[in-house]
Amino acid sequence: MPVAAKPPVAKVGTWGVAIAVAAWAAVFVTTTRGVAGPTNSVALTNAMPSPNSSPIDSMAAQTANPVPAQVSGLAASATAAATRQPASVGYPPVVRSTLAPNLPVSFGSGVIPRLALAAYVDAANSEARTSPGCGLNWTVLAGIGLIESDHARSGGSASLTWSGVASPAILGPLLDGNHGYPALKDSDDGVLDGNPSFDRAVGPMQFLPSTWHEYAVSATGVGTPDPENIFDAAAAAGRYLCASGINLDSAAGLIVAVYGYNHSFSYVTNVVSAAQRYAGGTLPGASVALTMLPALVAETSSTPQ
C-alpha cells in the first residue's frame, strides 16, 4: 500500500490478477529483456540518477489510438477475472474525485538508494533463473518500490550506513473499513503490522500480511523472511509478479501483472512510468502500455465500482 505521503491513487476492482487479459498479449511483439541491472559503476554508488531521456518504443505506433471497444474489453476483463489476492491495496475510493490528472506521480529525489537498487536487481536476476518465461525487469520492481515507499526512504534507506532493514518499520494505513479503505481482518495476530484486529500493509514493498505469508522468501536463503528487509521484500515482489505465469515483456503482460499487485490502473500508470524512466525508455512493452493506460484509467474511473 502506498504510504500516505504520496499523491492519492484510486483503488479499482476486486482481489486478484486479471488472467482473462492474457489473450490480448498475443497482439503485441515480445521484445528482448535484460535483467542484469546497470552494467556500469552506478550499481556500486549510493544512488542511481533518474534518466532524463525516454526513447520511444517501436511498438508504440500500434496503439497510439486505442480502439474504445478494446479498452473497454481490457478494463472489463481486468476487473472481472480476479482470482488472486493482491500484494498491496490502493488508496481508498473516496479520493477518486480528487485524483490528479497529471500522472505519473512525481519522481521525488530521482535516485534509488544503493541497497534498494541492489535488491531490485538481485530479485529480477533470481526470477530470471527460476522463472525465465516471466520477463521481469528490475526496473518494474524499482517502480513499485518508488510508488509504495519511495524505496524505503522513511525507513532509513538514504543513509550510507543503512542495513537494508527499514527502521522504523514502514506501515500502511489501518485497513479497518474507515476512511474509504477496505476492512481486512487480522491475518497475522499483529506480528507483522502491530495490530491484532485489522491488517495493514508492511515494509518497503507494502505487502498485506496474508499475501506476505504466501509469497515470502528469504533473499539469502537463510533465516525467516522479513517484509521490512528490502532484499526479502523485493524477492517476494518478484515471486508474486512471476507466479501468475504472465510474461511481462509485453504491454498487456506488464499491465496485468502490475494491476495484479495493486488493483488500480492509476497505480499501474505510475509504476510503469517510473520503470520506463529507470530503464532509460527501453523497458519492453512500456511505451505501448503507457498509450493504453490513460484510456483504462478513464474507463474505470467513470465506471461505478
Per-residue pLDDT tens digits for 61-79: 344 456 666 666 666 655 5
Report the distance separating Cα 229 and Cα 164, nearest Å.
Answer: 6
Report the distance separating Cα 151 and Cα 134, nearest Å.
Answer: 23
| pLDDT for residue 190 | 95
Q: Which three cell numbers stand for residue 215?
A: 509469497
Q: Where are the domains of the chain?
A: 19-33+57-301
pTM of the full predicted structure? 0.76
User: Above 60 in pLDDT, residue 294?
Assistant: yes
Query: Would you place residue 85 in the very low, low, confident or very high pLDDT band (cuts 50, 70, 90)?
Result: confident
Across 138-208, where does the E strand assignment appear? none
Number of helices (H) and strands (E), helices first, in the chain? 8, 2
